[in-house]
Amino acid sequence: MISERYLTVNNTKLCYFEYGSVLSGEPTYLLVHASGFHARCWDKTISHMEGCHVLAIDLRGHGRSQNHGPFSWDVFGADLTALVKELDLQNVVAVGHSIGGHIVCQSAGDDPHRFSRLLLIDPVICPPEDYEGLERGSSRSKSAESHPVSRRRNNFESTEIMFANYYGRGPFEYWESDVLRDFCEFGVIAGERDLNLACPPVVEAELYLGSKDINIYPYVDKIEIPVTILRAQSRKKTPDSLDFTGSPTWKHLSSYFPKGRDVSLPHLTHFIPMQDSELTAKYILDML
């Protein structure tokens, strides 16, 4: 059973979905999606986690959470930390995909006693030297409005048309069809005449440009629990550097965690949970 719930933190109304109920002695699984995605993209993965207590969050500006800025990586981290505290979560296994991995590390570094294990699925975390000497916005060479992602189609007449527009194209070529349907069904909000993406393309572009606005390593240094990192296939060199199927994860990241484990999955793209939900669930449950 899925329950849709809301909680206001940092003056922003966040939506999260609860699956199952708290079980004594068992962990709560907290799932954090990638930029431009939403909580219900985890539905297929959660279907392989029968009997578990799972919370999947919509980040601000995504899904059914309030579209209330600022939209930055440190703000997302503060939101997650506040939500975990407000819900008084304990024994948390936190799972973050892409930007979600970065956010999960912020929260686990901020409030480490609440977490028991982390699974970082192809997190957007670069080598330490990439963050040195950078101030907010200093690494940005263009505005969000001029970034190619901001020019993505934002309006659809129906979710069926949206699904047909994406199916088999670009990175969606590798997705399980059920995950793509969930992405379409729960990733839009009703406009006056049609459906609009819940995460506007310009917001997603803003997040791409802000990936180095916050140095993640002071948070990483405080994480002593077991951490598993899944890395997808290597990134291809493209003229515009927009290979969304390749891994953005520094290959030596696991060595920075005292109990880090690196898992290379070169047969999968960056969209690991969308491409193989059952395998993702097995890693979440630490069955592999």
Question: The domain that contains 221 carries what CATH number?
Answer: 3.40.50.1820
Residue 177 lies in a domain: no
Residue 173 lies in a domain: no
Q: How confident is the model at residue 1 (pLDDT cuts 50, 70, 90)?
A: confident
Q: How confident is the model at residue 241 (pLDDT cuts 50, 70, 90)?
A: low
- 39-85, pLDDT tens digit by residue? 999 999 999 999 999 999 999 999 999 999 999 999 999 999 999 99
Q: Is the pLDDT of residue 97 over 70?
A: yes
* Predicted local distance difference test score (pLDDT) of residue 146: 78
Residue 129 lies in a domain: yes
* Predicted local distance difference test score (pLDDT) of residue 153: 92
Summary mean pLDDT of the chain: 93
* Predicted local distance difference test score (pLDDT) of residue 177: 97
**How many Cα atoms are found within 13 Å in the side-chain-facing hemisphere of 253?**
30
Which of 142 and 39 is assigned the larger pLDDT?
Answer: 39
Q: Is the pLDDT of residue 101 over 90?
A: yes
Listed residue (22, 225, 258) closest to 113, CA to CA: 225
* Predicted local distance difference test score (pLDDT) of residue 235: 84
Helices then strands, counting H and E runs in the chain, come out as 9, 11
Distance separating alpha carbons of residues 217 and 252, to the nearest angstrom: 13
Per the structure, how many domains does the chain have?
1
Helix axes 73-86, 99-110, angle to 10 degrees: 50
Residue 250 lies in a domain: yes
* Predicted local distance difference test score (pLDDT) of residue 193: 86
> What distance separates the 2 farthest-apart alpha carbons in the chain?
53
- 264-282, pLDDT tens digit by residue? 999 999 999 999 999 999 9
Cβ–Cβ contacts within 10 Å for residue 265, how many?
A: 18
Q: Is the pLDDT of residue 201 over 80?
A: yes
Residue 87 lies in a domain: yes
Residue 168 lies in a domain: no
Please tell me the least confidently modeled range out of 111-120, 129-138, 197-206: 129-138
Q: How confident is the model at residue 164 (pLDDT cuts 50, 70, 90)?
A: very high
| Domain that includes residue 17, residue range | 2-138+213-284
Please tell me the least confidently modeled range out of 16-20, 22-26, 38-42, 57-61: 22-26
Distance separating alpha carbons of residues 220 and 127, to the nearest angstrom: 12
Global pTM reads 0.94
Please tell me the least confidently modeled range out of 57-61, 141-145, 199-203, 252-256: 141-145
Residue 169 lies in a domain: no
